[in-house]
Amino acid sequence: MTEKPIICDTKPLALEVEAGTHFWCACGRSSTPPFCDGSHKGTGIAPVKHEVEEKGTIYWCQCKHSQNGALCDGSHKSL
């Protein structure tokens, strides 16, 4: 059975990140948000792989309801 994700915040987290592969925490249990730290084990929720082409600011979803994967799509406004 898959648990529901925990809402970390009702606004995105703007964070400058390096280019490369990042794993976004989809469960909301990570102690290093917005990135996965393995806390999802046993929840049935897997982290989301997100590729960043070049260094820049990313608006990471913290409500865990985005239809745009790891990126904020404004879904937090309807919670």
Q: How many domains does the chain have?
A: 1
**Domain assignment of residue 27, yes or no:** yes
**Domain assignment of residue 51, yes or no:** yes
- Measured at the alpha carbon of residue 32, what is the angle toward residues 68 and 37, in degrees to the nearest 5? 85
**Domain assignment of residue 8, yes or no:** no
Beta-strand runs (E) in the chain = 13-17, 20-24, 48-52, 56-60
Give 42-58 pLDDT, tens digit per residue: 999 999 999 999 999 99
State the pLDDT at residue 2.
Answer: 76
- Which residues constitute the domain of residue 53? 13-78
Q: Is the pLDDT of residue 77 over 90?
A: yes
Can you read off the two tokens belonging to residue 37?
């730290």
Banded model confidence at residue 1, pLDDT cuts 50, 70, 90: low
**Domain assignment of residue 5, yes or no:** no
Average of per-residue pLDDT across 36-47: 96
What proportion of the chain, given as a percentage, has pLDDT over 90? 96
Return the residue matching tokens 């989809």. 26
**Domain assignment of residue 2, yes or no:** no
**Domain assignment of residue 38, yes or no:** yes
**Domain assignment of residue 3, yes or no:** no
Q: Is the pLDDT of residue 29 over 90?
A: yes
